[in-house]
Amino acid sequence: MMKVAQTMNGSLIRADQAAKQQRVTRYFCPRCQKAVQLHCGAHKAPYFAHVAEHVLGGGESSTHQAGKQAIAELAHALGWHASFEVPVGETQRADVWLTRDQQALIIEYQCSPLSPDKLNQRTIGYQQRQLPVRWVVGERYCLTNRYLSQQQLGFINYRRQWGFYVVSYLPKQGQWVLYHHIVARDFAGYAWQTLRLTTEAFVRLLVTQVQLPANHYTGKSQVIQQQAICRRLGLQDAHYVTLQAACYTHHERLQNVPKWCYCTHNVPPIYQVSQFESRVTWWLSGQPIDHFLAVTPLLYQPLLKQSLFVHWGQAALKQAIKKEPVSFDCRF
Protein backbone atom coordinates (compact mmCIF):
# COMPACT_ATOMS: atom_id res chain seq x y z
CA MET A 1 0.00 0.00 0.00
CA MET A 2 1.53 3.30 -1.11
CA LYS A 3 0.58 6.89 -0.41
CA VAL A 4 2.65 8.36 -3.27
CA ALA A 5 2.96 7.39 -6.94
CA GLN A 6 4.55 8.73 -10.10
CA THR A 7 2.53 10.22 -12.95
CA MET A 8 3.14 9.70 -16.65
CA ASN A 9 5.19 12.94 -16.83
CA GLY A 10 7.46 11.81 -13.98
CA SER A 11 6.11 13.98 -11.18
CA LEU A 12 5.02 12.59 -7.81
CA ILE A 13 1.46 12.75 -6.54
CA ARG A 14 -0.17 11.78 -3.26
CA ALA A 15 -3.10 9.36 -3.29
CA ASP A 16 -5.45 11.87 -1.67
CA GLN A 17 -4.52 14.47 -4.31
CA ALA A 18 -5.08 11.99 -7.15
CA ALA A 19 -8.50 11.09 -5.72
CA LYS A 20 -9.55 14.76 -5.57
CA GLN A 21 -8.43 15.45 -9.16
CA GLN A 22 -10.82 12.78 -10.51
CA ARG A 23 -8.53 12.25 -13.49
CA VAL A 24 -8.33 9.03 -15.46
CA THR A 25 -4.64 8.39 -16.02
CA ARG A 26 -1.90 5.87 -15.32
CA TYR A 27 0.31 5.83 -12.22
CA PHE A 28 3.62 4.08 -11.57
CA CYS A 29 5.64 2.93 -8.57
CA PRO A 30 8.50 5.43 -7.90
CA ARG A 31 10.87 2.55 -7.10
CA CYS A 32 10.25 -0.20 -9.68
CA GLN A 33 8.35 1.85 -12.31
CA LYS A 34 5.65 -0.82 -12.57
CA ALA A 35 1.99 0.15 -12.90
CA VAL A 36 0.03 0.90 -9.75
CA GLN A 37 -3.69 1.49 -9.27
CA LEU A 38 -5.43 4.19 -7.26
CA HIS A 39 -7.89 2.77 -4.71
CA CYS A 40 -10.60 5.01 -3.30
CA GLY A 41 -12.67 2.98 -0.88
CA ALA A 42 -15.80 4.33 0.77
CA HIS A 43 -14.38 3.83 4.29
CA LYS A 44 -10.63 3.86 3.68
CA ALA A 45 -8.17 6.63 2.85
CA PRO A 46 -7.01 6.63 -0.82
CA TYR A 47 -3.86 4.64 -1.62
CA PHE A 48 -1.90 3.15 -4.50
CA ALA A 49 -1.22 -0.57 -4.98
CA HIS A 50 0.71 -2.57 -7.57
CA VAL A 51 -1.28 -4.10 -10.41
CA ALA A 52 -1.03 -7.88 -10.47
CA GLU A 53 -0.07 -9.31 -13.85
CA HIS A 54 -1.57 -12.74 -13.22
CA VAL A 55 -4.48 -14.08 -11.27
CA LEU A 56 -2.93 -16.02 -8.40
CA GLY A 57 -4.94 -16.70 -5.26
CA GLY A 58 -7.60 -14.18 -6.20
CA GLY A 59 -5.32 -11.44 -7.53
CA GLU A 60 -6.28 -9.16 -10.40
CA SER A 61 -5.02 -9.66 -13.95
CA SER A 62 -3.63 -6.86 -16.10
CA THR A 63 -6.52 -7.51 -18.54
CA HIS A 64 -9.06 -6.92 -15.81
CA GLN A 65 -7.22 -3.80 -14.71
CA ALA A 66 -7.18 -2.44 -18.27
CA GLY A 67 -10.92 -3.02 -18.59
CA LYS A 68 -11.64 -1.14 -15.38
CA GLN A 69 -9.46 1.78 -16.48
CA ALA A 70 -11.31 1.93 -19.80
CA ILE A 71 -14.66 1.97 -18.00
CA ALA A 72 -13.43 4.79 -15.75
CA GLU A 73 -12.27 6.77 -18.77
CA LEU A 74 -15.65 6.34 -20.46
CA ALA A 75 -17.49 7.29 -17.27
CA HIS A 76 -15.30 10.36 -16.70
CA ALA A 77 -16.15 11.62 -20.19
CA LEU A 78 -19.83 11.29 -19.25
CA GLY A 79 -19.41 13.29 -16.05
CA TRP A 80 -19.12 10.46 -13.53
CA HIS A 81 -16.47 10.09 -10.83
CA ALA A 82 -14.99 6.58 -10.72
CA SER A 83 -13.60 4.67 -7.76
CA PHE A 84 -12.21 1.13 -7.87
CA GLU A 85 -12.76 -1.94 -5.71
CA VAL A 86 -15.25 -0.28 -3.37
CA PRO A 87 -16.57 -2.68 -0.68
CA VAL A 88 -20.29 -3.39 -0.88
CA GLY A 89 -21.46 -5.30 2.16
CA GLU A 90 -19.20 -7.94 3.66
CA THR A 91 -18.56 -10.15 0.63
CA GLN A 92 -18.63 -7.96 -2.50
CA ARG A 93 -16.39 -5.35 -4.08
CA ALA A 94 -17.57 -3.20 -6.95
CA ASP A 95 -15.10 -3.19 -9.85
CA VAL A 96 -15.97 0.41 -10.67
CA TRP A 97 -18.16 2.57 -8.43
CA LEU A 98 -19.51 5.62 -10.27
CA THR A 99 -21.02 8.68 -8.61
CA ARG A 100 -22.67 11.77 -10.12
CA ASP A 101 -25.17 14.22 -8.66
CA GLN A 102 -25.95 12.05 -5.61
CA GLN A 103 -26.41 9.02 -7.87
CA ALA A 104 -24.45 5.78 -7.77
CA LEU A 105 -23.91 3.17 -10.48
CA ILE A 106 -21.91 -0.06 -10.34
CA ILE A 107 -20.03 -1.30 -13.42
CA GLU A 108 -18.63 -4.83 -13.34
CA TYR A 109 -16.03 -5.93 -15.88
CA GLN A 110 -16.10 -9.69 -16.37
CA CYS A 111 -13.26 -11.31 -18.29
CA SER A 112 -12.84 -14.51 -16.22
CA PRO A 113 -15.22 -17.50 -16.01
CA LEU A 114 -18.45 -16.80 -14.12
CA SER A 115 -21.38 -19.19 -13.79
CA PRO A 116 -24.98 -17.95 -14.24
CA ASP A 117 -25.61 -18.69 -10.55
CA LYS A 118 -22.66 -16.54 -9.46
CA LEU A 119 -23.73 -13.77 -11.83
CA ASN A 120 -27.20 -13.84 -10.35
CA GLN A 121 -25.85 -13.86 -6.80
CA ARG A 122 -23.63 -10.83 -7.39
CA THR A 123 -26.36 -8.91 -9.22
CA ILE A 124 -28.91 -9.53 -6.47
CA GLY A 125 -26.31 -8.46 -3.89
CA TYR A 126 -26.22 -5.01 -5.48
CA GLN A 127 -29.96 -4.80 -6.08
CA GLN A 128 -30.71 -5.56 -2.43
CA ARG A 129 -28.75 -2.42 -1.56
CA GLN A 130 -30.62 -0.35 -4.15
CA LEU A 131 -27.48 -0.13 -6.31
CA PRO A 132 -28.03 -0.35 -10.08
CA VAL A 133 -25.41 -2.49 -11.84
CA ARG A 134 -24.30 -2.84 -15.46
CA TRP A 135 -21.98 -5.53 -16.79
CA VAL A 136 -19.23 -5.15 -19.39
CA VAL A 137 -17.62 -8.36 -20.65
CA GLY A 138 -14.17 -9.20 -21.93
CA GLU A 139 -13.02 -11.21 -24.91
CA ARG A 140 -14.05 -14.52 -23.34
CA TYR A 141 -17.72 -13.61 -23.69
CA CYS A 142 -17.67 -12.00 -27.15
CA LEU A 143 -20.49 -13.13 -29.44
CA THR A 144 -18.74 -15.01 -32.22
CA ASN A 145 -20.90 -18.12 -32.67
CA ARG A 146 -24.59 -18.05 -33.54
CA TYR A 147 -25.24 -20.62 -30.80
CA LEU A 148 -24.64 -18.73 -27.55
CA SER A 149 -23.89 -20.27 -24.16
CA GLN A 150 -25.94 -19.59 -21.02
CA GLN A 151 -22.88 -17.76 -19.66
CA GLN A 152 -23.01 -15.34 -22.59
CA LEU A 153 -26.79 -14.98 -22.46
CA GLY A 154 -26.62 -14.13 -18.76
CA PHE A 155 -25.05 -10.72 -19.54
CA ILE A 156 -27.78 -9.60 -21.93
CA ASN A 157 -29.49 -6.34 -21.03
CA TYR A 158 -32.18 -4.23 -22.67
CA ARG A 159 -32.37 -0.65 -23.87
CA ARG A 160 -35.06 0.78 -26.13
CA GLN A 161 -32.55 2.21 -28.64
CA TRP A 162 -30.43 -0.97 -28.75
CA GLY A 163 -32.91 -3.76 -28.12
CA PHE A 164 -31.38 -6.70 -26.26
CA TYR A 165 -27.64 -6.06 -26.11
CA VAL A 166 -24.25 -6.93 -24.63
CA VAL A 167 -21.36 -4.48 -24.17
CA SER A 168 -17.79 -5.75 -24.45
CA TYR A 169 -14.40 -4.09 -24.04
CA LEU A 170 -11.30 -5.59 -25.70
CA PRO A 171 -8.12 -4.35 -23.97
CA LYS A 172 -5.74 -5.62 -26.67
CA GLN A 173 -7.50 -3.58 -29.33
CA GLY A 174 -8.50 -0.75 -26.99
CA GLN A 175 -11.97 -1.09 -28.49
CA TRP A 176 -15.57 -1.18 -27.34
CA VAL A 177 -17.93 -3.65 -29.02
CA LEU A 178 -21.70 -3.30 -28.81
CA TYR A 179 -23.75 -6.35 -29.80
CA HIS A 180 -27.25 -4.95 -30.21
CA HIS A 181 -30.72 -6.10 -31.25
CA ILE A 182 -29.92 -9.69 -30.31
CA VAL A 183 -32.70 -12.10 -31.24
CA ALA A 184 -33.26 -15.86 -31.12
CA ARG A 185 -34.55 -17.87 -34.09
CA ASP A 186 -35.72 -21.47 -33.97
CA PHE A 187 -33.36 -23.84 -35.82
CA ALA A 188 -31.09 -20.90 -36.70
CA GLY A 189 -29.46 -19.86 -33.44
CA TYR A 190 -29.04 -16.20 -32.53
CA ALA A 191 -28.56 -13.10 -34.65
CA TRP A 192 -27.40 -9.58 -33.82
CA GLN A 193 -25.79 -6.42 -35.12
CA THR A 194 -22.19 -5.57 -34.16
CA LEU A 195 -20.87 -2.05 -33.65
CA ARG A 196 -17.17 -1.44 -32.91
CA LEU A 197 -16.40 1.85 -31.20
CA THR A 198 -13.61 3.98 -29.83
CA THR A 199 -14.19 5.47 -26.39
CA GLU A 200 -14.99 8.84 -27.99
CA ALA A 201 -17.51 7.27 -30.37
CA PHE A 202 -19.13 5.31 -27.55
CA VAL A 203 -19.47 8.50 -25.50
CA ARG A 204 -21.24 10.19 -28.42
CA LEU A 205 -23.58 7.23 -28.81
CA LEU A 206 -24.51 7.31 -25.13
CA VAL A 207 -25.00 11.08 -25.10
CA THR A 208 -27.08 11.34 -28.27
CA GLN A 209 -29.19 8.24 -27.54
CA VAL A 210 -29.29 7.39 -31.24
CA GLN A 211 -31.70 4.65 -32.29
CA LEU A 212 -29.54 1.87 -33.75
CA PRO A 213 -30.93 -0.08 -36.72
CA ALA A 214 -32.25 -3.55 -35.96
CA ASN A 215 -31.19 -6.57 -37.98
CA HIS A 216 -33.41 -7.94 -40.70
CA TYR A 217 -32.92 -11.62 -40.00
CA THR A 218 -36.06 -13.71 -40.28
CA GLY A 219 -36.90 -17.08 -38.79
CA LYS A 220 -36.78 -20.33 -40.69
CA SER A 221 -39.96 -21.27 -42.56
CA GLN A 222 -42.20 -24.07 -41.33
CA VAL A 223 -41.03 -26.35 -44.15
CA ILE A 224 -37.36 -25.85 -43.27
CA GLN A 225 -38.10 -26.46 -39.58
CA GLN A 226 -39.95 -29.68 -40.40
CA GLN A 227 -36.99 -30.85 -42.46
CA ALA A 228 -34.63 -30.02 -39.57
CA ILE A 229 -36.79 -32.03 -37.16
CA CYS A 230 -36.71 -35.07 -39.45
CA ARG A 231 -32.92 -34.84 -39.64
CA ARG A 232 -32.57 -34.57 -35.87
CA LEU A 233 -34.88 -37.51 -35.31
CA GLY A 234 -32.78 -39.49 -37.77
CA LEU A 235 -29.67 -38.55 -35.78
CA GLN A 236 -31.37 -39.61 -32.55
CA ASP A 237 -31.15 -36.10 -31.06
CA ALA A 238 -32.13 -36.57 -27.39
CA HIS A 239 -34.45 -33.53 -27.26
CA TYR A 240 -36.48 -34.59 -30.27
CA VAL A 241 -36.53 -38.30 -29.45
CA THR A 242 -37.98 -37.35 -26.03
CA LEU A 243 -40.52 -35.04 -27.67
CA GLN A 244 -41.51 -37.79 -30.10
CA ALA A 245 -41.99 -40.21 -27.21
CA ALA A 246 -44.20 -37.64 -25.44
CA CYS A 247 -46.26 -37.28 -28.62
CA TYR A 248 -46.73 -41.05 -28.87
CA THR A 249 -48.22 -41.14 -25.34
CA HIS A 250 -50.89 -38.73 -26.61
CA HIS A 251 -51.39 -40.71 -29.83
CA GLU A 252 -49.70 -37.95 -31.82
CA ARG A 253 -46.56 -37.67 -33.94
CA LEU A 254 -44.00 -34.87 -33.82
CA GLN A 255 -44.35 -34.41 -37.56
CA ASN A 256 -48.07 -33.63 -37.15
CA VAL A 257 -48.05 -30.98 -34.42
CA PRO A 258 -50.15 -27.79 -34.92
CA LYS A 259 -48.72 -25.08 -37.14
CA TRP A 260 -48.47 -22.62 -34.25
CA CYS A 261 -45.77 -24.84 -32.70
CA TYR A 262 -43.45 -23.62 -35.46
CA CYS A 263 -42.11 -20.19 -34.54
CA THR A 264 -41.11 -18.36 -37.73
CA HIS A 265 -40.41 -14.95 -36.18
CA ASN A 266 -37.71 -13.60 -33.87
CA VAL A 267 -38.11 -13.96 -30.11
CA PRO A 268 -36.20 -12.46 -27.15
CA PRO A 269 -32.84 -14.17 -26.48
CA ILE A 270 -33.83 -15.34 -23.01
CA TYR A 271 -35.36 -18.80 -23.42
CA GLN A 272 -33.72 -21.97 -22.11
CA VAL A 273 -35.03 -24.15 -24.93
CA SER A 274 -36.35 -23.52 -28.41
CA GLN A 275 -39.84 -22.22 -29.03
CA PHE A 276 -40.69 -25.45 -30.84
CA GLU A 277 -39.86 -27.63 -27.84
CA SER A 278 -41.70 -25.33 -25.45
CA ARG A 279 -44.79 -25.07 -27.64
CA VAL A 280 -45.03 -28.80 -28.30
CA THR A 281 -44.74 -29.50 -24.56
CA TRP A 282 -47.39 -26.86 -23.88
CA TRP A 283 -49.68 -28.29 -26.56
CA LEU A 284 -49.40 -31.82 -25.18
CA SER A 285 -50.10 -30.66 -21.62
CA GLY A 286 -53.37 -29.03 -22.69
CA GLN A 287 -52.62 -25.73 -20.94
CA PRO A 288 -54.38 -22.42 -21.84
CA ILE A 289 -52.47 -20.99 -24.77
CA ASP A 290 -52.95 -17.39 -23.63
CA HIS A 291 -50.63 -18.12 -20.72
CA PHE A 292 -47.84 -19.61 -22.81
CA LEU A 293 -45.54 -16.60 -23.14
CA ALA A 294 -45.90 -15.67 -19.48
CA VAL A 295 -44.90 -19.02 -17.99
CA THR A 296 -42.85 -20.82 -20.65
CA PRO A 297 -39.38 -21.76 -19.28
CA LEU A 298 -37.04 -18.76 -19.28
CA LEU A 299 -33.31 -18.43 -18.91
CA TYR A 300 -32.45 -17.40 -15.36
CA GLN A 301 -31.75 -13.82 -16.37
CA PRO A 302 -31.00 -11.45 -13.45
CA LEU A 303 -30.60 -8.30 -15.54
CA LEU A 304 -33.99 -8.25 -17.24
CA LYS A 305 -37.50 -7.62 -15.99
CA GLN A 306 -40.34 -9.82 -17.17
CA SER A 307 -42.21 -6.75 -18.40
CA LEU A 308 -39.59 -6.17 -21.10
CA PHE A 309 -40.53 -9.22 -23.12
CA VAL A 310 -43.79 -10.66 -21.81
CA HIS A 311 -45.79 -9.44 -24.83
CA TRP A 312 -43.11 -10.10 -27.45
CA GLY A 313 -44.70 -12.10 -30.26
CA GLN A 314 -47.96 -12.73 -28.42
CA ALA A 315 -50.02 -11.19 -31.21
CA ALA A 316 -48.23 -13.34 -33.80
CA LEU A 317 -48.81 -16.46 -31.73
CA LYS A 318 -52.55 -15.75 -31.34
CA GLN A 319 -52.82 -15.05 -35.06
CA ALA A 320 -51.19 -18.41 -35.80
CA ILE A 321 -53.65 -20.16 -33.50
CA LYS A 322 -56.59 -18.57 -35.29
CA LYS A 323 -55.41 -20.10 -38.55
CA GLU A 324 -55.40 -23.61 -37.06
CA PRO A 325 -58.17 -26.10 -37.85
CA VAL A 326 -60.76 -26.47 -35.07
CA SER A 327 -59.44 -29.93 -34.20
CA PHE A 328 -56.24 -28.39 -32.92
CA ASP A 329 -57.91 -25.62 -30.94
CA CYS A 330 -60.27 -27.89 -29.03
CA ARG A 331 -57.68 -29.11 -26.53
CA PHE A 332 -57.46 -25.51 -25.21
Q: What is the pLDDT of residues 50-62, one digit of tens each?
A: 765 433 344 578 8
The beta-carbon contacts of 169-176 under 8 Å, at least 24 apart in sequence, are 169/67, 169/70, 169/71, 169/109, 169/136, 169/137, 169/138, 170/138, 170/139, 170/142, 171/63, 171/66, 171/67, 171/70, 171/138, 172/139, 174/70, 174/198, 176/70, 176/74, 176/201, 176/202
Q: Which CATH number fits domain 52-208: 3.40.1350, 3.30.1050, 1.10.287, 2.60.40?
A: 3.40.1350
- What pLDDT is attached to residue 244? 96
What is the number of helices (H) and of strands (E) in the chain? 11, 13
Segments making up each domain of the chain, as ranges = 52-208, 222-329
pLDDT below 70 — which residues of the chain? 8-9, 22-24, 41-43, 51-59, 293-294, 297, 300, 306, 309-332
- What pLDDT is attached to residue 43? 63
- What pLDDT is attached to residue 3? 87
- What pLDDT is attached to residue 182? 95
- What pLDDT is attached to residue 21? 77
